[in-house]
Amino acid sequence: MSAPSSARTVLVTGAAKRLGREIALALAKDGWQVAVHYRDSLEDATKTVADCAQLAGASAAFRANLTNETAVRNLLPKVIQQFGRVDAIVNSASTFEHDTAASFTFATMDKHLRSNAGAAIILAQALHAHVTGRDGSASALARRPLGVVVNLLDQKLWNQNPDFFSYTLSKAALEAATTMLAMALSPQLRVVGVAPGLTLTSHLLSDKKFEALHQLSPLGRSSTPADVAATVKFAIDNQSITGTTLLVDGGQHLMKFERDFSLL
Ligand SMILES: NC(=O)c1ccc[n+]([C@@H]2O[C@H](COP(=O)([O-])OP(=O)(O)OC[C@H]3O[C@@H](n4cnc5c(N)ncnc54)[C@H](OP(=O)(O)O)[C@@H]3O)[C@@H](O)[C@H]2O)c1
């Protein structure tokens, strides 16, 4: 084991880059040891680990393809073996591939549901077993909840359009799972959703179009990566929140968009 087992440890999935990296760094700044999950982005994951380690003293990278159930089931035990304990999981990794009601197949649904909902549920199940087995003493149980899971959702669940059909279905499943897991896994675990608005651009958008779309909200700005990371940190810290979702989107969910941002 590379670190003292008393330090708080968080697993952040999809933490090599983009929002996952921002969340990992925000938690490291707060003293958390960060397990950086990645799939393909080894180089970026290595950089996130180095940056987190500089802030918190300990960090390590863990590879897993979240569409593979065995890989998902092996992930938390590997993190526990490395750090001695896990206290929180942030499910940020996500498949985001375009399909429509016309192009939908079982294959597109399966891929999105596995990585975006199934993996998060199995990781929550594993964290519940870990904290229950680890903190069985009366004094620890008096400090319930003992662990927390934060699921990254999307404002578009409250403002639906039919683009990215399988992605949206998978996030809807994860939102329902957030409620059900909060009920099923309490009092040991809290389970909270965080739903960003348009926060980072993609290859589908020019910088100019991204800027224009980012301003398209009641507040004149959608969320920034720092806003999302701060909300995740709040969800982790606040001991009374469970089974609900915090929308951090400048109010975009209050507006109606006929298409996904990237296709407007
Ligand atoms: N970005 C936004 O504006 C926005 C808006 C609303 C909601 N969200 C939500 O916020 C979260 C983070 O957004 P993001 O834009 O940072 O995500 P992203 O860039 O689309 O994906 C994050 C990471 O997910 C990993 N990933 C994808 N499929 C995987 C699989 N099968 N197994 C393991 N890892 C997999 C990839 O890791 P590797 O690169 O290592 O392969 C990728 O770097 C997502 O859940 C997203 O739905 C984001």
Looking at residue 172, its amino acid is A
pLDDT at residue 3, rounded to an integer:
44
The total of other beta-carbon atoms located within 10 Å of residue 172's CB is: 17
The DSSP call for residue 29 is H
- 2, part of any domain: no
- 256, part of any domain: yes
- 90, part of any domain: yes
Question: Model-level pTM?
Answer: 0.96
Cα dihedral 23, 121, 163, 96 in deg (nearest 10) = 50
Q: How many domains does the chain have?
A: 1
Question: What is the 19 CA–ligand 1 centroid distance (Å)?
Answer: 8
Question: What is the 255 CA–ligand 1 centroid distance (Å)?
Answer: 24
- 92, part of any domain: yes
Question: What is the 22 CA–ligand 1 centroid distance (Å)?
Answer: 12
- What CATH number does residue 237 fall under? 3.40.50.720
Closest listed residue to residue 29, CA positions, set 4, 1, 8, 60 = 8
- 1, part of any domain: no
- 3, part of any domain: no
pLDDT at residue 1, rounded to an integer:
42
C-beta of residue 219 within 8 angstroms of C-beta of residue 165: no
Residues lining ligand 1, CB < 6 A?
A: 14, 16-20, 38-41, 65-67, 92-96, 115, 152, 154, 196, 198-200
The domain containing residue 250 runs over which residues? 9-263
* Beta pairing partners, 195: 247
The total of other beta-carbon atoms located within 10 Å of residue 3's CB is: 18
pLDDT, tens digit only, all 264 positions of the chain: 444 457 899 999 999 999 999 999 999 999 999 999 999 999 999 999 999 999 998 999 999 999 999 999 999 999 999 999 999 999 999 999 999 999 999 999 999 999 999 999 999 999 999 999 887 776 777 777 899 999 999 999 999 999 999 999 999 999 999 999 999 999 999 999 999 999 999 888 999 999 999 999 999 999 999 999 999 999 999 999 999 999 999 999 999 988 998 888
- 4, part of any domain: no
Strand runs (DSSP E) across 47-204, as ranges? Answer: 59-63, 88-91, 147-152, 189-196
Burial class (CB in 10 A: 0-12, 13-18, 19+), 134: middle
Closest listed residue to residue 131, CA positions, set 66, 76, 176, 70 = 76
